[in-house]
Structure 1
Amino acid sequence: MMSQIEKQAAAARSASKRLAIASAEQKNESLQAIARALRNRKSRILEQNREDLAAGEKAGLSTALMDRLKLTEQRLEAMAAGLEVLTRLPDPVGEVLEVTDGEKNLRIEKIRVPLGVVGMIFEARPNVTVDASGLTLKSGNAVILRGSSSALCSNSVLVDVIREALADTSLPPEAVQLVTDPGRETVRELITCKGWIDVVIPRGGPGLIRRVVREATVPVLETGAGNCHIYVDRTADPGMAGNIVTNAKTDRPGVCNATETLLVHRDWAEKHLSKLCKELTLQQVEIRGCSRTRRVFPRAVPATATDWETEYLERVLAVKVVDSLGEAMDHIDRYGTGHSEAIITEDDAAARRFLQGVDAAAVYHNASTRFTDGSQFGMGAEIGISTQKLHARGPMGLRELTSHKYRIHGTGQIR
């Protein structure tokens, strides 16, 4: 007898066959219908989100998780607008990547195809429900969503709205499924549903991601933690550095592209670090500094070895003074998670060395790490930020949700 997960996976696989041959026009019309439905049903959605927020507050969820859980009219509008951006992007399915001549004049085409059925496991992020649904539909995939219990009301109403919208289009509502049982066993079932689900994408805390990678028998597209760094070089413009660091730390501290560690060249630190730390504390940022940082800013809390490896996801910043660019890069190599790293400098040679030598999905020169985001990269949205190196790396948009196959044309050749 099939379990509930297997029934949902079977329905999703059937839907994926129809999606794989859907036209760009059909997919775009469906995305537009969902965007309209989100706007028309915003009162209903926000009401259910308030239920989750009240339960989260009672359960003592962290500030970071509460921020990720919260929906507002502005965030709903951004989600709807993201779907509309997807309609303006090229359909990746069927794109011819290469054309070559094989043996005996065979014509070989390499083309993009959907992955099939995507399993999405995520924590306290109802916006992922919409982003993942939009991206998978546009890339010709079906999706099974398994959110956390803390966002169950929000995710349920969002999927209801999405499926209601799809029912009035040419795409099957079964293309978007939600696992409503929040038990841990449903995660195990989803990540071992080989043969029905083609890939699993975990998006959440380190514990969730480690579990999925460890236990899955379905291939995993791994997203990772964001222990992001900014290195302020000796030639950095003080005003620019202050703006970038403040934005990277305080714009949304609870997201993975927020900066967690600030590395500062000793020459710059002597002249400007004290002022920057004061500005950050005015933004309610707690500074945890090395001994050299505390000499110029005595109010800093002494940093421990743990601080260099911590993704705070709150208004805390670890600060370390270094002697050189090389020392900063060594620190990032040891403690970074391969997410987003930045250098602020007016020295083009230093910038080139940093951009070429730092091993991360996104490396920045004179810009905030907060830009590592699918919408900011022109993808409309993202299904996650990959810190691995196989198949996809960085923000994963439409192209990252495709594979390829070879289409071979012959004229009667035999081997």
Structure 2
Amino acid sequence: MRTTVGIIGGGPAGLLLARLLHRPGIDCVVLEARTREYVERRQRAGMLEQGTVDALHEVGAAERLAAEGLVHQGIELRFDRERHHIDFPALTGGRTVTIYAQTEIVKDLVALQLAEGPPLLFEAEALAVEKPESDKPVIRFRHEGREQALTCDWVAGCDGFHGISRDAFPAGASRSYARDYPHSWLGIMAEVAPSCDELIYARGERGFALHSMRSPTVSRLYLQVPNGTAPHDWPDDRIWDELAARFAIDADWTLNRGPVTAKSVTAMRGYVHEPMRYGRLLLAGDAAHIVPPTGAKGLNLAVSDVRVLARGLIELHRAGSTQLLDRYSELCLRRVWQVSRFSDDMTKMLHAQPDGDAFDDRMQLARLRRITASRHAAAELAANYSGLPLPV
């Protein structure tokens, strides 16, 4: 097999890149190790920055998003039994965020890909990227019971944190930076109407809680829990009682309760791999970086990467210039570190610290008070949350 761009990974990053390249006529092949059913059911993020929404419109994958997505004008911060609304449009010149599940984005992109091309192969497990430093790198993969080779001009590694793309960097050609956080998130999906119009970020002595949603009838909620917690440690009634306690305010507000349909625990980690390019291999999304989920940035950061990557490949296709591709890693990492900083700041400000003391507690409250009392501080949060501009 032969193509211009071999894309490893059929998640939102790889699929969006394929659509962005298809429009100007750049050949590519997407290799996805899992089945179509699996990738269309995999539960992930659901908060979309303005730029992510714009990218989906650009590739014609936003019809259902426009009809079903829940546009949010901001978020609510809760602490000291008070509620504070952060108005994004007023603070950012009109920018908003949208709730639309990643599973639905993948369904939309898969349907377009299968209807219009270029090729998307499910159950095509990438085994290795060979000769990434050459002008004809090769992806070895297994499909339909036999090993095959895909020769490319460029390889896009969009195969997530546990994929094989990053392993193609030779020893000494890269460096990684990581941070493990001393707490995890217990997340539930519940068949119940959300108790709020916008996301609630609650900070208290009992720990952090987040109220989100997937649709007008499905709620998504999270609790800060100790590392090593198992989902079965928390019966449904205990979860609802703890959520109600952490969201409690001195006002008339009630947490809606309903059947819990899914329950999981997510460890919190930050990770950045530098550089994001080696030869003709370019990493994007979780293959290159992960962020703690407090800032809702994982999916959006992956979309930012592939938008920059697509622009570089299109510039090469149309003008024969590699100028943007040569700066791909530099440009992406500039944004990656800013998003990592924001996610780290949000995590430290909102979570109870297992080894913290009374001074740490007061510092968290001081940071929250500054955001709710200072338009400048609130605008900085709103700008980062709704999405920084592309670094090009």
Q: Is the TM value for this pair above 0.5?
A: no
Which of structures 1 and 2 has the bigger CA Rg? 1
User: Could you tell me the TM-score, scaled by structure 1's length?
Assistant: 0.27
Higher percent of residues as helix? 1
User: Which is richer in strand?
Assistant: 2
TM-score, normalised by the number of residues in structure 2? 0.28
